[in-house]
Amino acid sequence: MSLGKIFENKKSDLSKRIDKQKIPEHIAIIMDGNGRWATKKGLPRTYGHKKGVNVLKEIIKVSKKLGCKVLTVYAFSTENWTRPSKEVSFLLNLFSEALSNEIEGIHEESIKIKFIGDLTPFPINLKKIISSSESLTKKNNKFLLNVCVNYGGRQEIVKVAKEIALKSFSGEIEPSEVNEELFNSKLLTQGIKDPELLIRTSGEKRISNFLLWQLAYSEIYISEILWPDFNEFEFLKAIIDYQSRSRRFGGIESLPNESN
Ligand code: FPP
């Protein structure tokens, strides 16, 4: 049997084990390991990022097919500016190129794309492509793809705290009115349900300043696979693992015979 056939068989076995009623509505992904993948193959790190775009395309397709509604991916963190300038330029060009090539397909699939983060330092051409992609797809309602770029969870929390402090200083709100709901309404992800599942590839067990507020109760799945090797099969494994968890949100599991 060919490797491709074995892979297809294993994939369909996993598909059968998925509970279609318990698909996470919102999945967040830290796509990690691009550089290591390329280095292992004796290639420049940038090859890993390029391959990473194809993987992302596959995972968007699978998520949508499964009935997931929102995917939020970490494409560029506030800390990524400290990489060699050549790699940073490559990544920014890659975002422009991938968006230009894929936006028609994204739109045809009725996917809405939204960029989350501080876009100010990005080159003007990238800002233009981001803005036109967002406006082209803004009415699409089958699926939402959030791409976090120049994003940091702490920076987002500080931004919200500043806005609330200003409102309080100007007398618009009382300090006693500051609560989680108000905080939520000012986040960059306002209006979007928190992710039920966070997937991080490449075996790293950190949150790395990603969606610090929003991930408070998310289930975390660490895959040992480097992002460029991640695929539908590994993604299904993550969902099955998630479905086996008991989500208690700090409470206790309710027993079948207990009325309340
Ligand atoms: C982490 O791997 C990956 C990134 C910093 C970039 C991820 C970006 C993409 C996959 C492209 C997405 C494209 C669009 C249009 C959204 P790493 O470089 O940190 O790998 P390492 O840990 O092995 O060094």
Q: Best mutation site among 31, 99, 208 for ligand 1, i.e. most ligand atoms within 8 A of its Cβ?
A: 31
Tens digits of residue pLDDT in 121-169: 999 999 999 999 999 999 999 999 999 999 999 999 999 999 999 999 9
Residue boundaries of the structural domains of the chain: 23-152+196-243
Q: What is the mean pLDDT of residues 201-224?
A: 97
Name the strand (E) or helix (H) holding 151.
Answer: strand 143-151
Instruction: Kindly state the DSSP code that residue 253 receives in the 8-state scheme.
Output: P
Which residue's CA is minimally distant from atom 10 of ligand 1?
A: 52
Which residue's CA is minimally distant from atom 14 of ligand 1?
A: 95
| DSSP state letters, 183-197 | HHHTSTTTTSPPPSE
More confident residue, 4 or 219: 219
Beta-carbon contacts of 257 under 8 Å, excluding residues fewer than 6 positions away, are none
Beta-carbon count within 10 A of 17 CB: 12
3-state SS, 75-91, equals: EEEHHHHHCCHHHHHHH
Q: What is the pLDDT of residue 256?
A: 47
Q: How far is the CA of 109 from the centre of ligand 1 (A)?
A: 24
Q: What is the pLDDT of residue 257?
A: 46
Q: What is the pLDDT of residue 252?
A: 75
CATH code, 23-152+196-243: 3.40.1180.10
Ligand 1 lining (C-beta closer than 6 Å): 31-36, 49, 52-53, 56, 75, 80, 94-95, 98-99, 147, 202
Asked if pLDDT for residue 223 goes beyond 70, the answer is yes
Q: What is the pLDDT of residue 1?
A: 67
Tens digits of residue pLDDT in 106-131: 999 999 999 999 999 999 999 999 99
Asked if pLDDT for residue 64 goes beyond 50, the answer is yes
194 in active site: no
